[in-house]
Structures are given as C-alpha cells and as structure tokens.
Chain A
Amino acid sequence: MSEAIVQLRGVSKTYTRGKQSVEVLKALDLEVAKGDFLALMGPSGSGKTTLLNLIGGLDQPSKGEVVVAGERIEKLKSSALAAWRARNVGFVFQFYNLMPMLSAQKNVELPLLLTKLSASERARRAQIALTVVGLAERASHKPNELSGGQAQRVAIARALVADPTLLICDEPTGDLDRKTADEILGLLQTLNREHGKTIVMVTHDPKAAEFATHQVHMDKGALAIEPAH
C-alpha cells in the first residue's frame, strides 16, 4: 500500500442560489494513492467538477475534511491556499484556458513567475516542459496558431512545469477528436507511468477511462467504486 495523496472524509458541498439550496456532494469519502491515475466518471451534473475543485483547492467544502498532499486544505486561508496550489497542483481544463496573448513558452512560464527562479531558469524549465509534451518547436506560437491537441499539450506543460504532486484534469479530451484524444491520454499515461505523477481525471468517455489505473463512478453526488480492470 502506498500513501494517500488525496483523502476526502465526509465531504459535502451545498450550493445556495437565493432560497434554493442544492446538495451537490453528499458525505463523500475518497482516497487517491500516490502514483494513481484515477478516472472519475459519471453523468453530467453528477458533481464531478465540484469534486475536482475541492481536491484542487479551488473551492471549499460545506462539510468534511479535505487532505491533499498532507495538508488540511479546507482550513487554509485564501492566500495560503493560493501558495499551496502553486506548489502542489497542476490543472488541465477541457478548453485549455491558455492566455491568448502569450506565446506557448510564456504560457508555460506563467506558474514560475510565482517562484524565485531567474528569467533564464524559468525559460529553461518551460522549454523542458514543452519538450516533455512534444511541442518544443512550437514554443513561440500563440494559442490561436495551435490546433486543439497542441493547445492542450501546452496546457499540460503549464500544469507540469512547477513539478506539482498532483495533476487535475477536467475532461481534458472533451473538445478533441478520437485520435488527438488518444494522443493526449497517452501523454497523461506516460506522465503517470514514467514521471510518477498522480493524476485525477474527469471524463465521460469510457475509452478515455481505460487509460487510467483506477475508475470511480459518480452519480448524484455520491460515489460507486468499481474495481480496476
């Protein structure tokens, strides 16, 4: 048994809109071990993104404990949480969310602006991250000069560059065709197997989930754990 990187205990999340309140996550428990590649599946609206946001420290639970990378993150203040995210988590989104006015290289360097690294060291590390995702020769391109698959690779390089403990991917192939999607999933698999990155990935796609080491199904804010294949 390896150590748990993510531990959720009795986590609930309730959204309140006016007088209505919706319990999106219901007393949920989850563990992700170091080195896991977890696929989180389930119908739309089942609470997958909400769960990812809690794991990544983007949002706070209404109830319960969220321990990630050894820290009770639901107890951190906003600025401490920001610093914690910068150190521990890399995010990959469905629509890449790159800065449109920055080159691939500068996009990847963004998280390093928050470190004490020198400009040349930042550039060097961004170059390495772009090489890892196979896009070194596109470093000077702007996002609108890249294909969807290439843009997602840049986003993965950005998520990797600060060497986080955990990669969080919300439907990373949701906007890509089958072939490109498989390339991206292959890349994530490599990062998991060869670079030892722990990955939590939300996906609708059963084919995508097969790249993972574990799968978890969600329905109406609760988990239904299935054994790995």
Chain B
Amino acid sequence: MKYFPLLWATLWRKKTRTWLTLFSLVAAFLLLGLLQAANSVFNTGGQNLGANLLITQARVSFTSPLPLRLLPQIEAVPGIEAVSFSQFFGGVYKDPKNFFPQFAVQPERWLKTFTECTLPAEQAAAWKNSRTAAIAGKQLAERFGWKVGDRIPLVSQIFPKKDGSRAWEFDLVGIFDNTSADSCPRMGNMYVRYDYFDEARLFGQGGAGIYVLRIADPDRAEAIGRQIDQMFENSPDETKTQTEKEFSLNFVRQIGNLSLILNSILGAVFFTILLLTGNTMSQAVRERIPELAVLKTLGFTNGGVLGLVIAESLLLCVIGGLVGMGLANVVMGVLAHAPVRMPPLKADTHVWMIALSSMFGVGLLVGLPPALKAMRLSIVDGLSGR
C-alpha cells in the first residue's frame, strides 16, 4: 500500500477535528458492540430450548390460564409422549428485585416431560412425598446459595392463600441439573406442587396455566399444534400451540420489543455519526481542493483521486470502529466479572459482521459524496480556486 503514508498524512491534516470525529466513531461502535451483543443474547434466548417441546396457551394471552379439564383431550392426540402443565406462581423471594420464575406443576408429569432435566431419584421421591416440597434449578440454587432442606419463603404477586396471606413457604427437596446445556432457561426456575398450590390458593382453582407437550417427532410439531388448536376452536378455551422456542421469543417480544428498542437507539446514534463524519469528510475535501487539483496535475487520474478520498473515509471509520469494538470487548469482559446478575455478553461472529459492515457502510456512504466532488473537480478550476 504505497499510498498509505499519503492517506495517513492527509487524515491527520487537522488533528483536533480528526480526533473529535474518531472519538465519536469510537463511542458509536462501543455502543454498537454492546447493544448488538445484548441483542444477540435476546435473539438466541430460545436456542437451548428443546425442539420437541410444544406449548399450548390460551389464544388470547399466555397470562390467562387454560383449565385443567383440557388435559385428557390433549393427551389423546397421537404423537404426544407426555403432557405437563405449569401455572405461573409469580412470587418474589425476600426482596422484589429477587425475581425468578416459579411454576406449580405435577411432579410425575414434569419428570416425564422435561426429560433433559435430571433430578436424583431420592430427591424426586421426596418431591412426590411431601405436598409443600419444591425443586429448583442448579443455577437458581447457586444464585441464592440454597441447599436441599432449606425452607424457601415466597410472596406471590398474584395468588393469596385462603387465609388472605400472600406469604407462602416451600421446602426445597431437590436441585435439578440439565443434561444438554446449563444455559437452558429452566435452570433458573423453581417448581412447586400443583395439588398443594391449587388447594391452598384463594381463587383460580382448576386453572392449569399452560400445557407443555413432549412430542416424539419434532418435524410434526406444526401438524400436532394445528390439530390441538382446531380441537378447541370456537370453544370457550381457544388455544394457541407453538414450539417452546417460538413461545419464549414471543414472550420476550411481549415484554417489549427489546431488539426494536436497541436497534432504534443504534439507528439514532448512527444517523448522528453519518452527519458528523460526513461533515468532517466534506469539509476536509473542500479545504484541500487546490491540493487535489495538484495531484491531478501530477498525473493522478480522476478515479485515483476518488479512490484516495474514499480510502481516507474508510480508514477513519475502520480505525474508529475497531477501537470502539475493542473497548466494547473490554467492557463486556469487565461486566462478566462484575457482581451484577446478567447473561454474559459476547461479541460473536454475528455481532462482528454487523460491526464490520457498519464500518464499511458508514465509510462508503460518508466518503462517496466528497469523493465524487473530488473526482469531478476540473484542474483549472481547482488551481485557481474558482
């Protein structure tokens, strides 16, 4: 690259301006790195979910429970191996910020359905034996330092007991692991017994929440889902059945379309960056019109001058972008070891692809107008400053 020294010198012609532009590029790409990494976590949230689990929810919303009486009909559908149901408990542990999902389930059904979860046999037996018994995922137990035998108080935000109190207590009898991946979202859940919960709650008896179905053949997921939904069509309990992965993605979307929010922020940031860098580049070219004319005088072609200006713009954006992404990686490394509870962020290939294409995209977009101007510049006009 014999033109590099020329490019480099040109880039630093106005040092302060170049530094300011670089800082804003670095800031933008730092943000891009972090937000895209977060985005990537949301979008791959369902990745470790079983492909052969279907979830049947009330058609209106997953927050309105389906009745337990649908169970026999669902169970009778061919291709279904096991059916469990989960009523969301909505409790907090000690402090409202200690939120994690709890569900009331039937132990036998749960064990048959969530086969990728492993619970030691004697703990499973203990769970079946005591009505107030509960189990927790390994991640959840580690988060709060729970051990088998602990008594876990939960205050339900939804369900009071018959005595009007919202304070429930459960005995932790088992901690389950996961055979496939420890990032399985279930590892942060707690499961209590449905029979005890249903009898003790003040209202809502007979509501099963959502149904979770294990199917033999993941390829038949859609067909089975359709069959179930048709079965309850035009009944008071219309259903919507989808794979667990779709369900969890929809769940995320329902909390608020985080991806959309993140991308809007990024969009705004990059719009600003385009204006800023664009201004820098066009100013940089405008003030060296005579120099560009001299280059042409020396024998640089119109295309050559176009290339030089675009290369300068790309250089600026790629430097800013790489430094910004480097910083984003440092920040993610620090966050991973910080005492905050959040999924680990990582700039994976996908994030890097977005970052690199943004660098080149911004560089080209911003460099092209002044480059075209430089290309079209007539030598005579340029030299005389006309």
Residues of A within 8 A of B (CB): 49, 53, 56, 58-59, 78-79, 82-83, 85-87, 91, 93, 97, 99-102, 106, 110-111, 113-114, 119, 158
- In the complex, the answer to whether A78 meets B302 with C-beta atoms within 8 Å is yes
- In the complex, the answer to whether A85 meets B303 with C-beta atoms within 8 Å is no
Task: Name the A residues within 8 Å of B380 (CB-CB).
Answer: 53, 58-59
Most-contacted residue by chain A among B6, B13, B290, B303 (CB, 10 A) = B6
Interface pairs (8), CB distance under 8 Å: A59-B378, A79-B302, A97-B290, A97-B291, A99-B291, A102-B6, A113-B6, A114-B298
Known: A97-B291, A119-B2. A59 touches B379 (CB 8 A): yes
Task: Name the B residues within 8 Å of A106 (CB-CB).
Answer: 5-6, 9
Shortest CB distance B128–A (Å): 80
Shortest CB distance B53–A (Å): 64
Shortest CB distance B350–A (Å): 39
Which listed residue, A56, A86, A93, A99, touches B9 by the CB 8 Å rule? A99
Known: A93-B383, A97-B290. A82 touches B296 (CB 8 A): yes
- In the complex, the answer to whether A101 meets B13 with C-beta atoms within 8 Å is yes
Q: Which residues of chain B (285-332) have a CB below 8 Å from chain A?
A: 290-291, 294-304
Known: A53-B380, A58-B380, A106-B5. A85 touches B298 (CB 8 A): yes
Q: Which residues of chain B (265-297) have a CB below 8 Å from chain A?
A: 290-291, 294-297
Task: Name the A residues within 8 Å of B304 (CB-CB).
Answer: 82
- In the complex, the answer to whether A114 meets B13 with C-beta atoms within 8 Å is no
- In the complex, the answer to whether B290 meets A114 with C-beta atoms within 8 Å is no
State in angstroms the CA–CA spacing of A113 and B301 once bound together: 12
Tell me whether B10 is interfacial, beta carbon within 8 Å.
yes
Chain B residue at smallest Cβ distance from A80: B301
- In the complex, the answer to whether A111 meets B10 with C-beta atoms within 8 Å is no
Task: Name the B residues within 8 Å of A53 (CB-CB).
Answer: 379-380
State in angstroms the CA–CA spacing of A119 and B4 once bound together: 12
Task: Name the B residues within 8 Å of A113 (CB-CB).
Answer: 2-3, 6
Task: Name the B residues within 8 Å of A97 (CB-CB).
Answer: 290-291, 294, 383
Most-contacted residue by chain B among A82, A91, A106, A110 (CB, 10 A) = A82
- Number of A-B residue pairs having CB atoms within 8 Å of each other in the complex: 66
Chain B residue at smallest Cβ distance from A53: B380
Task: Name the A residues within 8 Å of B19 (CB-CB).
Answer: none
Known: A101-B10, A101-B12, A119-B2. A114 touches B379 (CB 8 A): no
The 4 A-B residue pairs whose C-beta atoms are closest, nearest first, are A86-B299, A101-B9, A82-B301, A58-B379
Chain B residue at smallest Cβ distance from A78: B302
Task: Name the B residues within 8 Å of A78 (CB-CB).
Answer: 301-302
Known: A58-B380, A97-B294, A113-B6. A85 touches B12 (CB 8 A): no
Residues of B within 8 A of A (CB): 2-3, 5-6, 9-10, 12-13, 290-291, 294-304, 378-380, 383-384
State in angstroms the CA–CA spacing of A49 and B290 once bound together: 16
Task: Name the A residues within 8 Å of B296 (CB-CB).
Answer: 82
- Other than the given A58-B297, A59-B378, A82-B296, 6 more pairs (CB < 8 A) read A58-B379, A59-B380, A82-B304, A85-B298, A110-B295, A114-B300
Chain A residue at smallest Cβ distance from B296: A82
Chain B residue at smallest Cβ distance from A114: B299
- In the complex, the answer to whether A79 meets B301 with C-beta atoms within 8 Å is yes
Chain B residue at smallest Cβ distance from A159: B298
State in angstroms the CA–CA spacing of A102 and B378 once bound together: 23
Task: Name the A residues within 8 Å of B298 (CB-CB).
Answer: 85-86, 91, 110-111, 114, 158
Task: Name the A residues within 8 Å of B297 (CB-CB).
Answer: 56, 58, 85, 91
Chain A residue at smallest Cβ distance from B8: A101
State in angstroms the CA–CA spacing of A213 and B131 once bound together: 116
State in angstroms the CA–CA spacing of A19 and B298 once bound together: 33
Known: A85-B297, A86-B299. A102 touches B9 (CB 8 A): yes
Task: Name the A residues within 8 Å of B301 (CB-CB).
Answer: 78-79, 82-83
Chain A residue at smallest Cβ distance from B5: A106
Chain A residue at smallest Cβ distance from B381: A59
Task: Name the A residues within 8 Å of B12 (CB-CB).
Answer: 101
Shortest CB distance B169–A (Å): 75
Chain A residue at smallest Cβ distance from B291: A99
- In the complex, the answer to whether A85 meets B299 with C-beta atoms within 8 Å is yes
Shortest CB distance A16–B (Å): 14
Chain B residue at smallest Cβ distance from A93: B383
Task: Name the A residues within 8 Å of B300 (CB-CB).
Answer: 82, 114
- In the complex, the answer to whether B295 meets A100 with C-beta atoms within 8 Å is no
Shortest CB distance B78–A (Å): 74
- In the complex, the answer to whether B6 meets A100 with C-beta atoms within 8 Å is no
Chain A residue at smallest Cβ distance from B13: A101
- In the complex, the answer to whether B303 meets A79 with C-beta atoms within 8 Å is yes
State in angstroms the CA–CA spacing of A101 and B12 once bound together: 8
- In the complex, the answer to whether A82 meets B2 with C-beta atoms within 8 Å is no
State in angstroms the CA–CA spacing of A61 and B5 once bound together: 36
Task: Name the A residues within 8 Å of B295 (CB-CB).
Answer: 110
Task: Name the B residues within 8 Å of A85 (CB-CB).
Answer: 297-299
Task: Name the A residues within 8 Å of B299 (CB-CB).
Answer: 82-83, 85-87, 111, 114
Most-contacted residue by chain A among B2, B3, B298 (CB, 10 A) = B298
Shortest CB distance B293–A (Å): 8
Most-contacted residue by chain B among A59, A93, A99, A102 (CB, 10 A) = A99
State in angstroms the CA–CA spacing of A172 and B297 once bound together: 16
Chain B residue at smallest Cβ distance from A82: B301
Task: Name the B residues within 8 Å of A49 (CB-CB).
Answer: 384
Shortest CB distance B315–A (Å): 15
Shortest CB distance A158–B (Å): 8
Shortest CB distance B104–A (Å): 73
Shortest CB distance B316–A (Å): 15
